Structure 1
Amino acid sequence: MWLQLAILGMIAALLPLAIVWASKDADKYRKLAWVTVFLTFDLIMFGAFTRLTDSGLGCPDWPGCYGHANPLQAHADISAAQAAMPTGPVTVVKAWIEMIHRYLAMAVGVLVVALMVIAWMQWRKSKHAQTRFSPWLPTFLLGFICLQGAFGAWTVTMKLQPVIVTIHLLLGMSLLGLLGWLAARQTEHMPVAATSAALRLPGALAIGVLMMQIALGGWVSTNYATLACTDYPLCDGVLVPTMDFVNGFTLWRPLGMTAAGDYLPFPALTAIHWVHRMFAFVLL
């Protein structure tokens, strides 16, 4: 199965690699970096689609599907699980959605490996003279994407535990940002004005606040708290509804449950949604 998955990952990466090498752009490394950014963005969008269609457990094991490299080979197991629980998390369609998400992730991994190999080769060839080919960031990205893959595995094996899924989302956004930084380094820019140095701290604070809002949005999504408030700007007709912050923001707990093993009360979902909504005003 592992060999088959590796082959499928390389096949998924062939199209973007072919686009890069067939392009007329003389700087293939820069082109590859931007193609990797684009594919990573697509991966994040497809990950959102996977969540919205409740396909995260379409294949309840990892990295394959019932021990196979694709849903076609696992069709009998998927059909049996679907017949046993028609409204459950496993269906043929959901299995394909989940596995396509994994194939895209493997393709991004292959592209990052290609970036790292080319960077090391060009850096040594130039005798460390071309700083844009510095291999340290691509090498770090390879380790980073392995960590992201581990959280992808735990997302499945830990049955969509909210804190794991939220970290998985944040790592995906961070990976996109780091790849964007790598790609931007490949293009020469105008000299940065000295006054822009004064914007570094406010800029860093703004990025931190933005990441916090993304994390809160992920926490809303992973706890299925989107409809806890059905009106806007009020929540159930009041500005400050009844809320349970303790259970709502206890990080280490199963999906839909409290840390004590009870069902998560509705005021906890309201607290999750309300905090995300209020923090949006801070961001503005």
Structure 2
Amino acid sequence: MNRFHKVATLTFWATLGLVVAGGLVRATGAGLGCPDWPTCWGCWLPPTELSDIPSQLDKSGEPYYLDRLDRKQYLSKFDSTKMWIEYMNRVLGVLIGIFIIATFIASFPLRKSNPRLFYGSLVALLMVIFQGWLGSIVVQTELMPGMITLHMLLAMILLSLLISLQAWSSPEAKGSILSGTRILYGLIILQVILGTQVREKVDEFTKEPEGVARENWLDHAGWVDHIHRPLSLLVLGLSVWIFWTARKRSKKDLLPTWILGCVLGQILLGIILAYAGLPPWSQTAHLVLGAGLLCLVYRAGWHPVAST
């Protein structure tokens, strides 16, 4: 059990790191830095020079690479920085797959004594396989709307499952569930969906700016952004209520404080995104802090630890 707990904990933190990398990919617009999959510009290792790309010329003499879907990927779109960011994200994805396999192997001896660890690890393994396939579809469809939202949602669910695996194998004493945290978890999941769809609307301008200034991109996000913003106030109100009721019960439990702090940080980052022209660093921070908030709320709502 102790061995499984260590592997599950390591897998959780590694997966959270992959979410950070994914946030960097989104913020820098590097999602198509490698326009094909599983290769990158037709190479298994990122090309160091344009001459390394297996290319040919079109009728106008412009070089392009014909990918496995027979799409023309013009070398004029080649960006070394974005290519390496996306490629490292893929490498991290492979490492996560290895960590998940290790978690499943570690759960095998426990399949009779603690079957939920075994079956939970099996579900995590299947989810990672599906996520890998879905990631390839995201690239092949050139960041098709809807696919990115599903990809992000499954990543959040996977993080929650890994928290359960870590908690089920933990020797720590279990505490009482904080009232309202499960409702808050549902609201945060909804915010993740809405926030990702807002980003999908913005992606349309990163591909084709059409003369729209960067600071005005969010103005074209429509009803999704109009729901995403006020819903944050509901999240804040519920977080304050959870903090207040938890403090009356015990001042030693810091989890409600962390949750409220993350919510306030998310609102601040949202304001920066809305009024400072979507700076890339704040996009990454918004996603990472959101993932951390979701993990804290899930832990508080399903696997609280007793205060010491």
Q: Bin the TM-score by the shorter chain.
A: 0.5 to 0.7
Q: What SS is found at the alignment partner of 1:45? A: helix
Residue 17 of structure 2 is aligned to residue 29 of structure 1: no
1:69-115 Cα offsets, whole Å, 9 max, x none, are: 220378532995699665x4x31221111111011011001110111
Q: How many Å separate the matches in 2 of 1:97 and 1:123?
A: 38
- Does the 8 Å CA contact 1:59/1:98 hold for their aligned counterparts? yes
Deviation (angstroms), 1:272: 2.8
Q: What SS is found at the alignment partner of 2:202? A: coil
Q: Which residue number in structure 1 is paired with residue 53 of structure 2?
A: 77
Aligned 1:216-231 pairs, distance under 5 A: 216-224=194-202
Q: Which residue number in structure 1 is paired with residue 34 of structure 2?
A: 59
- Does the 8 Å CA contact 1:213/1:283 hold for their aligned counterparts? no
Alignment CA distance shift 1:169-1:118 (3 Å): same
Q: Which runs of 5+ in 2 are unaligned?
A: 56-62, 66-72, 209-216, 237-308
Q: Which runs of 4+ in 1 moved over 4 A?
A: 78-86, 265-268
Q: Which residue number in structure 2 is paired with residue 269 of structure 1?
A: 221
TM-score (norm 2): 0.61
User: Could you say what the CA RMSD is over the residues aligned between the two structures, in angstroms?
Assistant: 3.2
Greater length-normalized contact order (CA 8 Å, ≥ 6 residues apart): 2
Q: How many Å separate the matches in 1 of 2:132 and 2:97?
A: 9
1:13-55 Cα offsets, whole Å, 9 max, x none, are: xxxxxxxxxxxxx933222211111111110011010111111
- Does the 8 Å CA contact 1:34/1:183 hold for their aligned counterparts? yes
Q: What SS is found at the alignment partner of 2:231? A: helix
Alignment CA distance shift 1:203-1:62 (3 Å): same
Alignment CA distance shift 1:226-1:154 (3 Å): closer
Q: How many Å separate the matches in 2 of 1:78 and 1:183?
A: 46
Deviation (angstroms), 1:276: 1.2
Alignment CA distance shift 1:74-1:155 (3 Å): farther
Alignment CA distance shift 1:187-1:266 (3 Å): closer
Give the partner amino acid of 1:214: V
Q: Which residue number in structure 2 is paired with residue 176 of structure 1?
A: 159
Q: What SS is found at the alignment partner of 2:12? A: helix
Q: How many Å separate the matches in 1 of 2:204 and 2:231?
A: 15
Residue 139 of structure 2 is aligned to residue 139 of structure 1: no
Give the partner amino acid of 1:77: I
